[in-house]
Structure 1
Amino acid sequence: MYQFSLNLFCALLLFFFFFGPSFSSPLSNLTFFGGAFLSNNSIVLTQETSCAPPPLPDDTALPPLSPLSGVGRAFSANPFHFLDLSTNATASFSCSFSFTITSNSSCPFGNGFAFQITSNTGLFSVYDGYMGLPEDLETSTEVQDSYFAVEFDTSFEPNLEDINGNHLGIDLNNIMSLASVDVVTKGLDLKSGKEMTAWIEYRDSAKVVRVWLGYSSQIKPPDPVLVAQIDLSKQFKEFMHVGFSASNGRGSSAHVVDHWRFKTFFGFLPSTMPMDIVEDDDCIMCSPVDSDLQIGSFVYHPLNKRILKFALVFGSLAVVTLIVAAAVVIFLVCYLRRRRLRRARSERHMHRFHGGRMVPKMLSLNEIKSATNGFNQDKIIGEGASAVVYEGAIPSYGSVAVKRFNYENGFDASLSRIPFNTEFSTMVGCLRHKNLVQLQGWCCERNELVLVYEYMANGSLDKILHNRTSLTKFLTWERRLNIILGVASAVKYLHEECVSQIIHRDIKTCNILLDSEFNAKLGDFGLAEVYRHSFRARDATVPAGTMGYLAPEYAFSGVPTVKTDVYSFGVVVLEVATGRRPVDEESLAVIDFVWDLWEKGSICKAADPKLMNKFSKVEMERTLVVGLACAHPNCDKRPTMREAARMLRGETALPVLPSRKPTVRIQSVLPEGCEEIMSGDHIDDTPWSTPRTHFSRN
């Protein structure tokens, strides 16, 4: 694919190299003489100088000789084709440029400047005057050179038959104009210091020169200020140079030309067709200066016209063919690549499932570090007693939550290895449910123990419910009820539908995570216990969990059952409905708070004030009653998770609760021969050393 793109780029580059327009810099297109130079893409012909001595008494006399510092000329470096000797055809031309003539108020204006077409750029006046034009070529006995000029005269020279000191004139091999016009009568002033624009055209078919002048560089005046019937076919040589010349004489002016554009045309042009609309394709060399100054020429022979049309058609077809071919190839490459990725993804999923169970992928430590920026502190989104959770991104999974266990304790530390092993074995076993956080990968390398889970955009339910974040306002009653039903579905799956029965042992709002749509998913199986045979008796263990969520019999006996999970679920239900913590800062349990309102017959007053009474009272009462039933002190009175889920959905009748909160009755389940454990005569760290319990900080 990359090779094809490179070849396509090279082909297009070659096409534009051979068939596209060629460009060159302004300095290579212009040659400067005298005091002329290029400044900021403008041609400066002369600059203001100190005033010369006053004129002689005889105004008819020629000005005294002086150095040529006040003369400046700029011409095209290469000549243009004006006469075709094979067909005796003469070129028509079109020219436009902007200019300014400025002068110090204490000095008179200089002579002015002229647009000039000449066969010899070395021809100029020996005097510091005459706008840099040759004096008189008509008197020469051997006329080998010629020039045509349009002068913009700002000085009055009676000996040159000037009409005034503010006029336009057309000169042909002589500084005395063939035709001239007073621009002041046209509402114009060459000495105003404003930028002006001139348009000059010659149509060989009509043998007419036309000159337009105005203050706008964009809008050409409708009528020319000067029209002269002149046959330039007898004056043009085969190749001639185009440019400008200016002089100051006894005055001082700055003559500046910019935005210059010149084109020549061979062939017939209808008199009704403006020469300005002839496109740039009609010049074989266009050189932009500041995107406006252009110099060009085009030989408009029928043969060259056919060649140009053929080149344009062939080039267009080549470009279209290349584009279509590129589009087809890109489409095929993308299609085949998508099919290959889809097949690889399918095969990867097939390998990750065995016997209907999802097998997480083993990841390298480098992948984990890359996903978390080297376990950057800014990536931490949660911390627990034995693990820290980081937000990360893995290419094959997207956003993930990386749970790092042994970040402090080392590889052999049991405080981190036991939860890792328990959670990993539990998740790999059979957990595949929409309301369970999915394990996607794991890493056991060096001294690192890591589990990679799907990323939950809205974090834990605990933070949104109690910390008044920006998301708290979105926790409506409908979403809260949906969260409760989602958790109920997950716990029911663990107890009754999974291949091996699983007791979570740590159901709490901290371990309930919410995705971007506030759907609940139960996570953190570090304390879970898996029973692969339903008839196996539960062993007593050191109770582990969070104060406020532990069932009384479990805290005393250390024997986890499905009913201990139901109790924790009941506390979560009451916590979500009331917005109160399991045990508040005044040591009041949420269960006692709701039981007290139940005894008073006003249980709906337990609803979270943040809901602002925007809830169904029937649903609220049903939810609170189910929460109390699940958190019943007597485990035999608690419903199963299936029954609790049905009651929450209103599919079955609610249980009959006693009018007052029942008292807690605990029956010892210690094995025979272990009475001394409770007597105080012997203390050890065996698993039955209850009620010594271990509670997490959360």
Structure 2
Amino acid sequence: MNHHHSLFFFYVILFLSQDFPTLSHRFSPPLHNLTLYGDAFFRDRTISLTQQQPCFPSATTPPSKPTSSGIGRALYVYPIKFLEPSTNTTASFSCRFSFSIISSPSCPFGDGFAFLITSNADSFVFSNGFLGLPNPDDSFIAVEFDTGFDPGHGDINDNHVGIDVNSIFSVASVDAISKGFDLKSGREMMAWIEYSDVLKLIRVWVGYSRVKPTSPVLSTQIDLSGKVKEYMHVGFSASNAGVGSALHIVERWKFTTFESHSDAIQEEEEKDEECLVCSGEVFENPMGIHRKGFDFRVSVVGFKIPFWSLLPGMAAIVILVAFIVFSLISGKKRISEGADTNSGINRMPGRLSLAEIKSATSGFNENTIVGQGASATVYRGSIPSIGSVAVKRFDRDHWPQCNRNPFTTEFTTMTGYLRHKNLVQFQGWCSEGTETALVFEYLPNGSLSEFLHKKPSSDPSEEFIVLSWKQRVNIILGVASALTYLHEECERQIIHRDVKTCNIMLDAEFNAKLGDFGLAEIYEHSALLAGRAATLPAGTMGYLAPEYVYTGVPSEKTDVYSFGVVVLEVCTGRRPVGDDGTVLVDLMWSLWETGKVLDGADIMLREEFDAGEMERVLMVGMVCAHPDCEKRPRVKEAVRIIRGEAPLPVLPARRPLLRIRSATEAEEMIADGLGREDLTWMTPKSHFS
């Protein structure tokens, strides 16, 4: 067997970049274009970052000088440009690799390993391993696959993935087992890591298959523009500290940088010629079968590969083309037949070009505007591959007023491909230059708010529709189903924070679809409320839970309060805060105290409803908007009451006082009904309302 077949090496090929011209250097790399540090060594066709070492030395064996440092690192030999100083532009990047962690017999696992981007290739923190990460004084970004537990450094357990920036303390981490994989299984796994400078977002996927999972296991907003140097080294590091011992093996690796102003998320089907650092033969010969006699090579854009290794790829291309042609022919009929019912749910969102967006909206023509808010304008449009769409175009000039990037927030929430029939379906996105937009399905009947509060027109030709009681109950149940999905059924809990009737859209059959995730917060289901950081309360006046206004900490119960206000609004046809300053929740408690709660029913219904059902739904709205968050039911429980599957809620004869302890717990504040004057300072009134 030839010597080079037993080595794991990487090729550098031509990659043209407008922002990073130095990456377009063409050359044929030497046999070894990796630098190994410490314990790292070539192992068959892979790299092992660490070596097996005795973890329980015999008591009869005298101690000897250690032959292993316990730390290993493998870095690409040339630094890569991550920052363009003339424009202060940071490169985005994507990376995928396969790995396995194999423990030594009778030994506990080592520390783990990390994908590493560092400004100083020779910087190490030698004490206690620390995955072989650099000294905190040097700039580095690492995604750690940690199999050691050190609570003193913020580890959540001994089987987790974390993101580190210039520190061994992770800025975000997630338990591996809860995400469906086990770092200690010894099995080969695939990892995908992406950073978008446009979104200021790092996402990590991990799985046992070579097919990239739909949802990332870890996603967090980080701006790397001030944390990288002009040139950085890329590779991997690992350590075995103390009594732990394991082989940390990397087998396949592909790394790509791309322009910051281009697509925010690189498609997985990247062309090989766009790859900056790629593994050589391992993808071409995964079974490790080496063919003797076929050793002549063909030069392709600056690197050499065995000619025989092209044959499987050529065959795969022929098969792929045939499959695509067959799919296009046989799928047209199915697509056209199922477009009306399934396209919104089944179509996976993708990147759209700015040219497509402008074509869909006639160049953002004012006549296509269907909604406008503080940070975005919504246009109606049509895209041939999708159909009718709503294009949400973001205005960057207003982002500082929002205290966050609304495009990033909504994209981060929706990019996990939330698929539920009562959520406005995300169809795609565009990020080119200064333009950012999200594309959603178009709902022809507009918002629920329009139907509840629109006044009859004097023009007899203009149709005036009053939602029936049956339609209203169906809308309430639809919103409840969406919230139950967000709170309890998603992989991570999503708090919407802006549940209101103008964010509830209606399709052609008046089914409800909850939208606008610009204020959403995402938490782990296991996260304790006490551990959540307080933020400036955001939302819309009249829908905000009182404890959220005082503490700034959102929870499932703050969404339940907003849902309760929506229920009352749907039943009564009144706004949460009327033009005369009447607060809807206060009004309903006043009617309840006098035994006249049915007097609150919308007069436009002309009493065409079941009185018992109306009272039951009104009571659900009131208990969901209870001043005490502990008294509010979960949305799923509220649905059972509405359907008559659970007993009516127990409401006190008079509206209870609200007791809220301040953040410092120094005093107790009592609010007995919040009037309009109290509400104005809570949050700016929504421009959508």
Measured against the shorter chain, the TM-score band is: 0.3 to 0.5
* Greater Rg over alpha carbons, structure: 1
The structure richer in helix per residue is: 1
What TM-score do the two structures reach when normalised by structure 2? 0.47
